Every structure is written in structure tokens, then in C-alpha cells.
Amino acid sequence: MNDAELETNQTSPELPNSTVTDAQAESLIDSDTLHKASTQISALKNNVQRLLIGQNDVVEQVIIAFLAGGHVLLEGVPGLGKTLLIRALAKSIDLDYKRVQFTPDLMPADVTGHSMLDMASGQFSLRKGPAFTHLLLADEINRAPAKTQAALLEVMQEYQITIDGKSMPLETPFMVLATQNPIDNEGTYPLPEAELDRFMLKVLVSYPEHQDEIKLTKLNTENQTGIVNASIQSVLSKQDVLELKALVSKVLIDDNVVDYAVGLVRATREWDGIVHGAGIRASIALVQAAKVKALCEGQSFVTPDHIKAMLLPVLRHRIILSAEREISGSSAEQVLSEIIQQVAAPRQ
């Protein structure tokens, strides 16, 4: 079951006395600003989707995490455009991006940077690593050993890098977009729980539909440059993005909806078939992502449907199923679907 199916098909019990209309009336975002924001986000999505044909949900979720100040773990087989995605996003906003191919011999300093001795002056100088950028693509992150993976922890949580005791802030905005292959386990290292929890969303990249694959094939064979070198124009400025990120904090969410989001996360800690549930960081990520989802839809307040829409990408990598559920063929998505059905949602 994919995220879109969960969003449209799942229902849950309802609780009375939701005050969504009160939240709407008290919105801090005026209608003109709200319309401008949703229009800008739509323009960004459409621009990236020109190259990422058939991956609309993936593009939207990556943009949601970006505007929410989070990071994304992309999982999919090779050749589905994961590298192209970050390139298209960076060019759409005119931001810098760097790509690091994670390998078994990659060292932490290869990601963050290091001090080196200038033989001429006898002084140490800083050589910044690729993490000093706006968008960092950590390609095949699970091919690097734990020590190198851990180098990203400070980067992802603190938005700074410490070299030789000196802490340096990263660029703003900043996002890590990491990729991993779900089927090739040879020469890979499992991501530690602490690092998985730093990713706001885990997004699954699947094969495109038949008609979309036809479009991709034609686009790549009708000219010599193909889709990889296709031109893409900037549609937003860095300042536009910073203003959108600031606007997210003004999206209102009623206490009942916050309680619902927290209830969903807490349910994973006691659910039959889950041996390790989601932590507090998951509740924060769920609410923050839902706020951006609301903004994408031109709404100034969060509804339970926004929470449900973001549940899978926020929680799928934060729970561990029991051996019995895995043997029976259950997936994290199926178990989370059960939780959606059982946890009561406030009425809209």
C-alpha cells in the first residue's frame, strides 16, 4: 500500500468537539499570503515534476521535508531518478548542491572536511567538505561504515560541523537527501537507529506507471542530451524559500489534532506486532510535516487528514516489527494502517 492509497482509503473513528473552524478563524496568515505560498509551492513541484515524471508523491514529500526543515531517506532501486531529483530541486531554487558517493572506504572527513597544514605558511587551514552546501545528496548511504554514517548526525541535528573543536554553522536552508537500495544487501551496513530517527521522512521511490515510462523513454531518446542534461529554470529564490519556511510556523493546529498526532505515535509503542515504537522526535516531525502539507493545499490550519497523509513517510522507518509479523508477510505500512483504523480522530 502506498502513501496515496492510505490517504484516500483509510478511515478512523472520530472524536467529538474538534475546533478546526475556530483555528481557521484565528489564522495568522492572511488570504493573499496563503494564496501566494500555495502558488509558489505548486510552481516548485511542477518544475521538478517536469523531469521526475510519474513521481509526483515523491516530489511533494521531499519538498514538504525541505520546507519543514527536515531530511529525507529515499529508498528505491537504481535508475529511478533519485539523483536527478536533488539536482532538479536545487536548480529550481538556484541553490548549491553536492553529491557524496558513500563507499566502504569513505572517511568522516571526506564528508565534513578537515584541517590541513599549509607547508608554505606553516599554518593549518580548513578544507571544507561537501556537507558545506544547501542540499547534500548522500548516495547509497548504507554502503559506508557506521563511523562515517555517524559523521552526519551532528550535521543533520545541529546544522553545524565541528572540526578540531571549532563549530561552524551550515548554509541556510540545508537538507540531507540520502538514498539506499532496498534489495542489494551485499557490502552494506544497516543505518543505526539514532541516524534513522534524524530523517524526518522515509520516501519509497517505485517504478513509474506504464504511460509515464513511455514519456520518460521518449524524453530520453528524442535528443542527444536526454533528461539528465535537460534545462530547468529557477522558479523560486532563496529568499522565497526562507519566507515559506517562516510561514510554516504560522500554520495553526488545534490541540485536539496535536493530541491525535501524538496518540498515533504513542500507539506504535504498545501495538501488537511492533517491538520498537517511534520516539518523541516522530511526534514533532509528524506535526511539522502536516503543517507544510496544509500549506501546500492552501490551508492555514492542520486537519486530521493532513496528519494521516504524512503518517507513513514519518513513521515507516521508526518502527521495528516483531519476527512473527515479518514472517507472516506484514509490512510497516500495513501495521500503521491498522493503527490509523483504530485510533480515534477528532471530527472535522
Q: How far apart are CA 345 and CA 13, in angstroms?
A: 6
pLDDT grade for 18, boundaries at 50, 70 and 90: very low
| SS percent in the chain: helix, strand, coil, step 5 | 45, 15, 40
Same-domain status, 62 and 208: yes
Task: Judge whether residue 19 has pLDDT over 60.
Answer: no
Lowest average pLDDT, out of 143-152, 223-232, 251-260, goes to 223-232
* Domain end call among 249, 264, 293: 249
Same-domain status, 103 and 201: yes
At 50-105, the pLDDT tens digits run 888 899 999 999 999 999 999 999 998 888 888 889 889 999 998 999 999 999 99
Task: Judge whether residue 223 has pLDDT over 80.
Answer: no
At 256-288, the pLDDT tens digits run 999 999 999 999 999 999 999 999 999 999 999
Lowest average pLDDT, out of 17-21, 49-53, 296-300, 342-346, goes to 17-21
Does residue 176 form part of some domain? yes
pLDDT averaged over the chain? 87
pLDDT of residue 23: 47
Same-domain status, 264 and 156: no
Residue 334 belongs to domain with CATH number: 1.10.8.80
Same-domain status, 65 and 178: yes
* Domain range enclosing 170: 40-249
- Number of domains within the chain: 2
Q: Is 317 helix (H, G, I), strand (E, B) or coil?
A: coil
Pairing of strands 166-169, 14-15: unpaired
Distances (CA, A) of 241 to 136, 233, 317, 328: 17, 16, 27, 45
Nearest Cα to Cα of residue 253 among 211, 304, 205:
304
Does residue 259 form part of some domain? yes
Using an 8 Å Cβ cutoff, are 54 and 212 in contact? yes
Question: Is the whole-model pTM more than 0.85?
Answer: yes
Sign of torsion over alpha carbons 157, 162, 166, 172: negative
At 153-172, the pLDDT tens digits run 889 989 999 888 888 999 89
Strands, DSSP E only, in 171-319? 175-180, 201-204, 274-276
Task: Judge whether residue 26 has pLDDT over 60.
Answer: no
Same-domain status, 146 and 168: yes
Lowest average pLDDT, out of 96-105, 210-219, 226-235, goes to 226-235
Same-domain status, 216 and 96: yes
Same-domain status, 144 and 256: no
Residue 242 belongs to domain with CATH number: 3.40.50.300
Same-domain status, 72 and 196: yes
Grid cell 530517527 is found at: 197
Pairing of strands 166-169, 72-75: unpaired
Lookup: cell for 100: 557524496
Same-domain status, 49 and 90: yes
Same-domain status, 47 and 110: yes
Same-domain status, 257 and 282: yes
* Domain end call among 249, 274, 305: 249
